[in-house]
Structure 1
């Protein structure tokens, strides 16, 4: 069953406190690990991350040691930490599908019986696992059916531009990158078909672009971005940035919101709305909303909604301004509410 990032987060928040194990599948770099970490934080769980791909079966069983005339298994590492847990703990098995069959088999008893040999897990421990798919060129040979059946539910995470831009606006991602991916949402995640040693567009690799945009010199932009998301996507980003940089500056629009020009092309509209959202403050938000109303009046309702929503996502305090409260009763409020 395919789920969006917001649906997966809600599912995990429901399943984790109930101690129901979840298996998440999906392409590399789409945010599986980040969503698990967020869910752990929101449910008040400590996070223990294991990587079965680099484990040996003894990591899950413990090391045998003599105890008189018998041998017992001595837990160590992640297993020891889980067995000693006294507060809510989320044990995240990352990249489970890359692990050997022997390691996967060693996890089965932990997942269902919640014990391994003579050691029983405390009730405060919950499991979540993630894996890439077999066709993702990620070294996944599969997961044993008995292992799969030990999860309460199996879901496939599918990235969406709506979830990504919601996260990006709250995380301070450069406005021009948000605008570009709204303009070209098909480039958010692109399946890599070649086995060459190069990156492909994904939420993870666009995240690297976001981190490098403020620091990379213009002379190296194409080289830097191509190394993060591939040459084709980087070339399209550079073409969009050329448009973005030729538009009136956000400061100029805020200075004269009643007369500043309104672009006509979709690329320019995405650029202007994202830039204004990033430049909005409590002091200038009334002027931003004046320009926003003009966008709506000339028929660009979608971009008016994007501007207002992004501004409030970036700075939630803007929702308490007099300008925004007044706008809530008019056309802008209807658009934000989806009416």
Structure 2
């Protein structure tokens, strides 16, 4: 069953407090690990991350240790930490599908019986696991059916531009990159078809682009971005940036918001909307809304909605301004009410 990031977070927040294990599948770089970390924070759990792909079966059952005439298994590493947990803990098994069958089999008793030999897991420990799919070129051969059946539910994470935008706004991702991916949401994730040593577009690799924007020299931008998301996506981004950088600045628009020109191309409208939203403050929001209303009246309702919603998402305090209160009777109010 496919879920978007917000649905996955809500599902984890419902299952984890009940101690129910969840298995998340999906392509590489779409945010599985990040969402598990968000769920841990939201539910008040510590987070223990294990990587079964680099484990040996003894990591899940302990090392045999002599005790008189017998031997007992001595837990160590992540197993020891989980067994000694006294506070709510998510034990996250990342990239489980890349692990060998022997390592996966060693996890079965932990997942179902919640014990290994004489060692018993505390009730405060909840399992979550993630894996890529067989077709993702990630070295996944599959997960043993008895292991899959140990999970209360199995879901596939599918990236969406809405969820990525929410994350990007909170993380102060450059407005030009947010604008571009809103304009070309099909490039948020591009499945890699070849086994060549090169990157492809994904939420993770766009994150690297965000970190290098404003740092890499202009003459090396295409090289840098292509190395992050592939030549095709990087070329599209550079074309968009050429338009973005020729647009009037937010300052010049807000000097004369009632007469400043409104662009006609979708790329430019997307760029202007995102830039003005990032530029909005309590002091200038009345002028931002003047331009917003003109966009709405000119028939660019979708881009006016991007501007209004983004501004409020970035700075919720804007809803306390007199300009926002007055706007409830105008286009912004219609947008918020979904009319």
Report deviation, 1:281: 1.3
Structure-2 separation of matches of 1:42 and 1:237: 35
Report deviation, 1:67: 0.9
What's the counterpart of residue 285 of structure 1?
285
What's the counterpart of residue 250 of structure 2?
250
Structure-2 separation of matches of 1:220 and 1:147: 47
Q: Aligned runs of 1:289-328 on 2, under 5 Å?
A: 289-328=289-328
Report deviation, 1:323: 1.4
Structure-1 separation of matches of 2:22 and 2:62: 24
CA contact (8 A) 1:171 1:314 kept: no
What's the counterpart of residue 125 of structure 1?
125
Structure-1 separation of matches of 2:308 and 2:40: 30
Report deviation, 1:330: 2.5
Query: CA offsets per residue over residues 281-300 of structure 1, 9 Å max, x none?
Result: 11111111110011111111
What's the counterpart of residue 239 of structure 2?
239
SS in 2 for 1:64: strand
Structure-1 separation of matches of 2:129 and 2:293: 46
Q: Aligned Cα RMSD in Å? A: 0.8
* TM-score of the pair, normalised by structure 2: 0.99
Structure-2 separation of matches of 1:247 and 1:271: 8
What's the counterpart of residue 260 of structure 2?
260
Structure-1 separation of matches of 2:337 and 2:168: 21
Distance 1:329 1:67, change over 3 A: farther
* TM-score of the pair, normalised by structure 1: 0.99
What's the counterpart of residue 206 of structure 1?
206
What's the counterpart of residue 161 of structure 1?
161
> 4+ residue runs of structure 1 moved beyond 6 angstroms?
none
Q: Aligned runs of 1:113-152 on 2, under 5 Å?
A: 113-152=113-152
Query: CA offsets per residue over residues 13-34 of structure 1, 9 Å max, x none?
Result: 1000010000000000000000
SS in 1 for 2:169: helix
Query: CA offsets per residue over residues 193-239 of structure 1, 9 Å max, x none?
Result: 01111100000000000111021111111111011001111011000
Count matched residues: 339
Structure-2 separation of matches of 1:318 and 1:161: 24
SS in 2 for 1:71: strand
What's the counterpart of residue 335 of structure 1?
335
Moved more, 233-242 or 305-314: 305-314
What's the counterpart of residue 13 of structure 1?
13
CA contact (8 A) 1:199 1:227 kept: yes
Q: Could you list the runs of 5+ residues in structure 2 that have no partner in the other structure?
A: none
Query: CA offsets per residue over residues 116-143 of structure 1, 9 Å max, x none?
Result: 1111100100010000000000000000
What's the counterpart of residue 79 of structure 1?
79
Structure-1 separation of matches of 2:130 and 2:319: 37
Structure-2 separation of matches of 1:23 and 1:318: 40
Report deviation, 1:319: 2.2
Report deviation, 1:314: 1.6
Structure-2 separation of matches of 1:337 and 1:110: 49
What's the counterpart of residue 192 of structure 2?
192
Report deviation, 1:170: 1.6
Query: CA offsets per residue over residues 10-68 of structure 1, 9 Å max, x none?
Result: 00010000100000000000000000000000000000000000000000000100111
Query: CA offsets per residue over residues 262-317 of structure 1, 9 Å max, x none?
Result: 01111110010011111111111111111001111111111111111111222222
